Amino acid sequence: MIKQFVKSLPTSDFVKINLDTQYYTKNEVDALINYAVAQAREIDEASMAKHNRDATVISMILGFTTLALFVDGLLRMLGIIPPFMHLDVNILEKVVNRVEVDLAPILQKIAGR
């Protein structure tokens, strides 16, 4: 009964296994090992290619998002884009005020000489 069940199982196209014998020859074992190693290499190459592709896409998405948020923050600091939720981070007016208060008298003294 077990022999009938085993004979009905699908076998590899690469090596025909004789189920009537109790042993494998060295050539059969070597062929099976070579076939298994070749399959493992193919699987490894395919999985690494998929990993590299997925990692590239994820890196592109993260990079684009980071760049977009950086540019958004920069434009809000310069006052080009209006404040978001009433959080004013515009530093341009503060810089202009500091220049007028701190540097204008110094520049006038230099120009007056």
Tens-level pLDDT at each residue, the chain (113 residues): 777 766 777 665 555 556 665 677 889 889 999 999 999 999 999 999 999 999 999 999 999 999 999 999 888 888 888 887 878 878 888 888 888 888 888 888 888 76
Secondary structure (H, E, C), the chain = CHHHHHHHCCCCCCCCCCCCCCCCCHHHHHHHHHHHHHHHHHHHHHHHHHHHHHHHHHHHHHHHHHHHHHHHHHHHHCCCCCCECCECCCCHHHHHHHHHHHHHHHHHHHHHC
| pTM greater than the 0.85 cutoff | no
Instruction: Count the domains in the chain.
Output: 1
Q: Which domain holds residue 35?
A: 2-112
